[in-house]
Structure 1
């Protein structure tokens, strides 16, 4: 046995988990290493796989069913669940675990820094939507409906509650401007809410960050991590994707029009209003304060770059959006 773990952790817990897996799996474990909280890479006899924890049995079963359905209707660029358990499901210390296919990754990692990767990611996301729309009726009621406005209103309230801490790091004028962007955006989205509620529905991925796109050893791009799936219109995923790539295209509205999957929605007022919402700033500050990592230099520096370093580019971007709507 070679038992290794990355990062900090409870050695006693980790050894108990290892012993539990040896008893419950149909494969002899040779090595286990922690990737992040409740996610492990396991090397067994002749097989490598990911062991991933789920907060509830419902979440475990839902993701397993959705991944199986996706493969059946033609979306192959993701992992599968492995039936390795002797007595499924695996339940250890109030967490359900699933065994997922390990995808051998390329040394050339997927990144939003590269235009080629940004285009590849969008193409894969479009394929994901195009295939999974066949499953919407089947999973209606099992997967929650996405509430774009409600999510952002909650995120705004959390950010406002965290202002006493944020004000120690960010000057008042910048905070006031960011809040003004949020107010303008939310009012516009509420007025144009129909674009997010009406039209053809798909299963949304919900977390189109760069780390959820993997370049495999065979160079194919795979989509992973379906913890935040919901049902809604495709524009919500594309909106999040746009927000993720905008820092890498210097907050240029003109450059954004070169991504056809996103450009298809740039004629909609609701989508334009939504592009102005500072969702990344709110999300990351709320997360840092919740986890109490804002006093760590390695954590606060990216936050300050996002909030202050990119402020003028984003300021010009918001004004460009306003001019576009006034045409």
Structure 2
């Protein structure tokens, strides 16, 4: 395991590791994944340290972790304590929590079994993620899906006008904007607001980032989720919607892969008008293009290649959905 830089140099990194030694960690090796995420090997085992700029944020994450630690088979990675018994380590304006390093593999969305195991893991996570106590719910925010998507849609429109792109990609952008406009105009705001209100009343908590890297296959069929960062009190169906959007590009937008999920609740969702309309909204393209516009030339080139490959298959899928919404069977 190699070491990486932290902060502004070797001295800061050395002092940070020294401060961890004072907390009882006998460090053999370390690796900074990000400035606020460090993997350490110790004689007692391997751990992940995560730093937060605010103490309250770290405390919130630890409290959510305690909720899952009460479950017989927790579906989330669990924070633990430093050898001194302290849950938080403060160093240079950062508050650090610690959890065991979960050794396993992230999901491969090219693999049918991984896709099934992923949706089953989300369902298990949802069964453990109904918070009926205000002491937990108060830690989390909620949101309006339509408002969130409208902001992303508008940001994409603004960004796409600021950058020089090819004529072909300009036409693709207009098509993508058309899909977003169609979806936002067809979604029933009152229906979604009622769903969101019901979720708050029930205490439904969504993970919010059901991407492959946030799943961990520990062994066999034992798949858990990691990362509490985007938890929110919204309908559980929003996680499933996001998961479907993650799956489809891997399978050229073929609806057959959704049947292979073998999930009756998903099959029911695919008969609901709001869910079908939401699948037309190219939220993933907007998100990644907005990031590419900010990152610059190389990322724009990468997204151009992806979009050119993805668009013909997505176009066919969206046309089918729009026809189905227009002429329901």
TM range (shorter): 0.7 to 0.9
Question: Structure 1: how far apart are the matches of 2:301 and 2:6?
Answer: 21
CA shift digits 1:182-213 (9 cap, x unpaired): 11111222444246425454210000000001
Q: Tell me the equivalent position of 1:271.
A: 275
Structure 2 residue 117 is matched with structure 1 residue 120: yes
1:251-290 alignment to 2 at 5 Å? 251-259=253-261, 260=263, 261-290=265-294
Question: Structure 1: how far apart are the matches of 2:7 and 2:292?
Answer: 18
Moved over 6 A (4+): 6-9
Kindly indicate whether the alpha-carbon contact (under 8 Å) linking 1:69 and 1:135 is maintained by their aligned counterparts in 2.
Answer: no
Question: Structure 2: how far apart are the matches of 1:80 and 1:116?
Answer: 25
CA shift digits 1:238-268 (9 cap, x unpaired): 0100000001221123432443242221122
Kindly indicate whether the alpha-carbon contact (under 8 Å) linking 1:144 and 1:231 is maintained by their aligned counterparts in 2.
Answer: yes
Kindly indicate whether the alpha-carbon contact (under 8 Å) linking 2:32 and 2:38 is maintained by their aligned counterparts in 1.
Answer: yes
Kindly indicate whether the alpha-carbon contact (under 8 Å) linking 1:197 and 1:233 is maintained by their aligned counterparts in 2.
Answer: yes
The verdict on how the C-alpha distance between 1:138 and 1:88 changes in structure 2, with shifts beyond 3 A counting, is closer
Q: Tell me the equivalent position of 1:4.
A: 3
TM-score normalized with structure 1 length:
0.88
Question: Structure 1: how far apart are the matches of 2:35 and 2:293?
Answer: 19
* Pairwise CA distance, 1:229: 0.2
Question: Structure 1: how far apart are the matches of 2:284 and 2:43?
Answer: 42
The runs of 5 or more residues in structure 2 that have no matched partner are none
Q: Tell me the equivalent position of 2:108.
A: 111
SS in 2 for 1:96: strand
Question: Structure 1: how far apart are the matches of 2:300 and 2:170?
Answer: 18
* Pairwise CA distance, 1:51: 0.6
* Pairwise CA distance, 1:76: 1.6
CA shift digits 1:14-59 (9 cap, x unpaired): 2232223223x12222211112331111112322100112232222
TM-score normalized with structure 2 length:
0.87
Question: How large is the Cα RMSD of the aligned pairs?
Answer: 2.5
Q: Tell me the equivalent position of 2:145.
A: 148
The runs of 5 or more residues in structure 1 that have no matched partner are none
> Which range moved further: 138-147 or 186-195?
186-195
Question: Structure 1: how far apart are the matches of 2:46 and 2:220?
Answer: 17
> How many residue pairs were aligned?
319
Q: Tell me the equivalent position of 2:79.
A: 81
Q: Tell me the equivalent position of 1:223.
A: 225
Q: Tell me the equivalent position of 2:313.
A: 313
Question: Structure 2: how far apart are the matches of 1:216 and 1:315?
Answer: 37
Question: Structure 2: how far apart are the matches of 1:173 and 1:150?
Answer: 26
